[in-house]
Structure 1
Amino acid sequence: MSITFQDCTYRYGRKLRPVLDDFSYRVPGGLTILLGPNGAGKSTLLKLAASVSRPQAGRIDFDGIGSRSRAYRRHVSWMPQNVAAMAGLTAREQVAYSGWLKGMNRADAWQRALDSLALVDLREHADDKASTLSGGQLRRMGVASALVHECRVLLLDEPTAGMDPRQRRVFRDLLRSLSGDVGILMSTHDVADLAEEADHVTVLYGGKVLQTGSTEAFLAHAPGGTAQGRAAEAAYTALLTEYEAG
């Protein structure tokens, strides 16, 4: 069960060039890392997959359920790049509110909020005002908000920005623990960010998929003799260089 794009076109203005044009793509299961330079279309793809934006042409569905339906949004969660603290709410209250918006009753949302905060190592901050959390903590609260209603697909837009090394480690462990039950599509600008721990890698450039497949297939693009620990960066650079050379 996954999200599928079928011949989708999306532009931000009627006279502007499409960001995605006649775009087809199926989000793999497990953990997929979405790579690409600024302007590649990563955030647009995630907004469309989250049903935050709608394509001007084409169709997006989850296991046959169209993206315009309420049922689709119950299965899919999205964490945008910028997670804002809601004035006056604690971290638990904000996460619970997200669950309520997804159709949960208040009691279930309240309990699941605490469970979700524990998953992202924020349980001890459950009663802190969301406005007092650090940037990295806010992002982890954003993940908790996305997970609170037990979604089937989790869409993450630059979730590790602002996290320190320990927080990134906690986050990596969380994604690995979830990816057996939840399909995860995570965009990043950091080529090394989980790329070698992911199940799949998709590289987007100019609104087109340059490469999608297993992590092993992605890393195979690295030139021979690449130093250990630099394979992801080398593979990414080689793909973009090959494409730009025509």
Structure 2
Amino acid sequence: MPLHYTDCSFAYRAGTPVLDRLTTALPEGCTVLLGPNGAGKSTLLSLGASCIAPSSGRITLGRLDSARKRDRRAFRQKVGWLPQEVKAIPALTVREQAAYVGWLKGLHKRDAWDRSATALEQVRLTEVGGRKSHELSGGQLRRLGIAQTLVHQAEVVLLDEPTAGLDPVQRGVFRDLLAELSDSVHFIVSTHQTEDLADIYDTVLVFDRGRPVFRGPVSDFLATAPVGTPYERRAESAYRGLLQGEI
């Protein structure tokens, strides 16, 4: 059940649209969203999470419309959002923070508390559930961010640069976690990192200047690299070849 964008426009400054009458659908499964800075990736995800609203157009998930007041709570429960920076709430434990976000999404307090245990187990944070959330490492905090999207049983999870600033070991743990969860949740992951695409993702979506310039399986994406490109450089070469502007 992908997110659909229909004739969506958005601008942070008048006369300079980031998205201009964009119509597209985010794929099912596990999708990597690639694109240079300023391409509109974060805006696309923020709109999909209903953190911001389009100046025109619609964003729907099935029959739910993010702008329709009666649909908004159900829409936000089905769409999870992990921004670039996951903030710890110092007064709360890890489990309390996960439950608190579930409550903010409309769950009853008891349901949110019960589901928080399952969500933390899914991201391998059960052992630190009683620790204060501000004591977590960067990698653990990102995993708590995912738990916050799972506690309300989101069907689609949008992640904006989730591995930025993580060391190689933490990035590996994060990738493994996505692979484990992708059987039951649709993931859209915005990133600049092109390594290991074939190990995690089903679809590549390349975004440039507010428009998708490529959408397809990882194998088709890699096939756009010039003949003779070394295997370890194919993803980077394919990505560069699809962009029109500066990287």
TM-score strictly above 0.5: yes
**How far is 1:118 from its partner?**
2.2
Q: TM-score, normalised by structure 2?
A: 0.92
Q: TM-score, normalised by structure 1?
A: 0.93
Q: Contact 1:172–1:194 at 8 Å: present in 2 too?
A: no
Q: Which residue of 1 aligns with 2:223?
A: 220
Structure 2: unaligned runs, 5 residues or longer: none
Does 2:54 match 1:55? yes
**How far is 1:102 from its partner?**
1.4
**How far is 1:105 from its partner?**
2.0
% identical aligned pairs:
50
Q: Contact 1:120–1:171 at 8 Å: present in 2 too?
A: no
Instruction: Figure out how many residues of one structure are paired with residues of the other and give that number.
Output: 242
Distance change >3 Å, CA 196–CA 40, structure 1 → 2:
farther
Find the partner of 2:135 among 128, 132, 136: 132
Q: Contact 1:195–1:232 at 8 Å: present in 2 too?
A: no
Distance change >3 Å, CA 85–CA 244, structure 1 → 2:
closer
Distance change >3 Å, CA 166–CA 118, structure 1 → 2:
farther
User: Which letter maps to 2:228?
Assistant: G
Deviations 1:17-73 (A, max 9, x none): 100001111011100000011111110000000011110011110012101222211
Question: How far apart are the structure 2 equivalents of 1:171 and 1:87?
Answer: 23
Deviations 1:67-117 (A, max 9, x none): 122221121110111111112111111011011111222222222212222
User: Which letter maps to 2:151?
Assistant: V
Q: Which residue of 2 aligns with 1:40?
A: 39
CA RMSD of aligned residues (A): 1.6
Q: Contact 1:121–1:170 at 8 Å: present in 2 too?
A: no
Find the partner of 1:93 among 77, 96, 101: 96
Q: Which residue of 2 aligns with 1:106?
A: 109
Deviations 1:202-232 (A, max 9, x none): 0111111111111111111111122222221
**How far is 1:160 from its partner?**
1.3
